[in-house]
Amino acid sequence: MADATLKVGDAAPDFALMDETKTVVKLADLRGKKIVLLFYPMDFSPICTEEHCAFGPQVGKIAPGADTVVYGVSCDSPFSHAAFKKQYGIPYSLLADTTRKMAKAYGMFAGEEPFNCTKRGTVVIGKDGKIAHYEEVPMREARKVDVIAAAAAK
């Protein structure tokens, strides 16, 4: 499967992934909600840890109402996600894209060697199931909460 090129207005590709509790989260079950997907390379890596430590206490800025949900997405396992979430008090679920299918469908896969991980990017899916915001940022640059909050507020 080739990496997708998504644009604002495209239908969001379907997904069904386990979170850190091994509960399957499906896009179809989230219809009618705004979804903020925080793609990131790896649990416990320095910049990813910095981001999640910043996002956690300010998640209310990113998802101010009950109609918005936030998920971190990487290629790490549910077990790694559980440890990462617990150690850093991350208040939102982390989805395990161990097959890399979601990362590829969303154009957020960094490729095979040497990375073989998820890119750093933000995708907002509107309540209508369409891409409302799509942004990839350099792997070695942390995202800012205010930028993500502004994208999610649109």
Active site residues: 48
Residue type, 10: D
Helices (H), the chain: 46-55, 59-62, 78-88, 101-105, 145-153
3-state helix, strand, coil in the chain (%, to 5): 30, 25, 45
Task: Give the CA radius of gyration of the chain.
Answer: 14
Is the separation of the CB atoms in 72 and 95 below 8 Å? yes
